[in-house]
Amino acid sequence: MGFSMTLSTIIKMQDIYLSFKGKDFDVKILKGINLEIHAGDSIAVLGASGSGKSSMMAIMTGLESAVKGKVTAMGQEITAMNEDQLAVFRRENIGIILQSFHLIPTMNALDNVIIPLELAGIKNAAEIAAEALKEVGLSHRITHYPAELSGGEQQRVAVARAIAAKPKVLFADEPTGNLDSKTGKAIIELIFSLQKKLNTTLVLITHDPALADKCSRKFFMNDGHLKEEL
Ligand SMILES: Nc1ncnc2c1ncn2[C@@H]1O[C@H](COP(=O)(O)OP(=O)(O)OP(=O)(O)O)[C@@H](O)[C@H]1O
Ligand SMILES: [Mg+2]
């Protein structure tokens, strides 16, 4: 009898094209992207500035619509969803950490983490948010507003917010780009330890080859074309 290992597909992009037409330009950004990600994978996406990495992530998370192609995530076709459906899909399934932290300036650290949990209808949102902030080592700063936090601390709030609801997939776009190397290293260790602990699938955009080496699969974006390094 044969032994077979089943890899379950968690995200699939098929023939994705993205372009922007302005008054004076018509730029082709993504030129036929195909990518299949399995549950538990950690994916690194490398490539030159402007090559289309963030654009691809925006399409995988439904923040941007493709001109052509299909994206399926967790068995749902996200390229067929409207804005409301996408918002629900994101809340229930994924966490996103961006280079700039996107915290709400008028809310303290704890409320920044609570809000998306409450929107997702999760019970004990306050408790779960406090626990996530503890995970990132910020228990002593929960009542601080973003302006009262250092860059590294703000990024840790953003990490706490992204992981609090235990997403199936965690997307991180250069999460350490704005941080000094020591703080950046701590954030990375945090992301990978949480990934292991929660068995989350990770999609990480980075310019750092050492960081990419920590991932299970490595991809290069080159002028709108994506290639896996095998
Ligand atoms: N709304 C837009 N209109 C026109 N061009 C755009 C728009 N958004 C992005 N672009 C262009 O698409 C290209 C890819 O951008 P993207 O942000 O995906 O690059 P990236 O690989 O993430 O780069 P970086 O490493 O600098 O973050 C860039 O050349 C950018 O100028
Ligand atoms: Mg980018």
What would the 3-class secondary structure string for the chain be? CCCCCCCCEEEEEEEEEEEEECCCCEEEEEEEEEEEEECCCEEEEEECCCCCHHHHHHHHCCCCCCCEEEEEECCEEHHHCCHHHHHHHHHHHEEEECCCCCCCCCCCHHHHHHHHHHHCCCCCHHHHHHHHHHHCCCHHHCCCCHHHCCHHHHHHHHHHHHHCCCCCEEEEECCCCCCCHHHHHHHHHHHHHHHHHHCCEEEEECCCHHHHCCCCEEEEEECCEEEEEC
* Residue 180 binned pLDDT confidence (cut-offs 50, 70, 90): confident
Lowest-pLDDT range of 73-77, 79-83, 142-146, 194-198: 194-198
pLDDT of res. 181: 83
Average pLDDT of the chain to the nearest whole number:
92
Minimum-distance ligand to the CA of 53?
1
The closest-lying atom of ligand 1 relative to the alpha carbon of residue 51 is 21
- CA-closest residue to ligand 1 atom 30: 50
Q: Distance from the CA of 1 to the center of ligand 2, in angstroms?
A: 47
pLDDT of res. 3: 59
Minimum-distance ligand to the CA of 207?
1
- CA-closest residue to ligand 1 atom 16: 52
For range 116-126, the mean pLDDT: 93
- CA-closest residue to ligand 1 atom 17: 54
- CA-closest residue to ligand 1 atom 29: 50
* Residue 9 binned pLDDT confidence (cut-offs 50, 70, 90): very high
Q: Is the pLDDT of residue 65 over 60?
A: yes
For range 63-79, the mean pLDDT: 96
The closest-lying atom of ligand 1 relative to the alpha carbon of residue 52 is 18
Lowest-pLDDT range of 17-21, 39-43, 176-180: 176-180
pLDDT per residue as tens digits for the range 137-175: 899 999 999 999 998 899 999 999 999 998 999 999 998
pTM over 0.85: yes
Query: Can you list the domains of the chain with their CATH numbers?
Result: 40-65+82-229 (3.40.50.300)
For range 118-143, the mean pLDDT: 94
pLDDT of res. 178: 74
Q: Distance from the CA of 30 to the center of ligand 1, in angstroms?
A: 10
pLDDT of res. 194: 81
Which residues surround ligand 1 with Cβ inside 6 Å? Answer: 20, 27, 29, 47, 49-55, 221
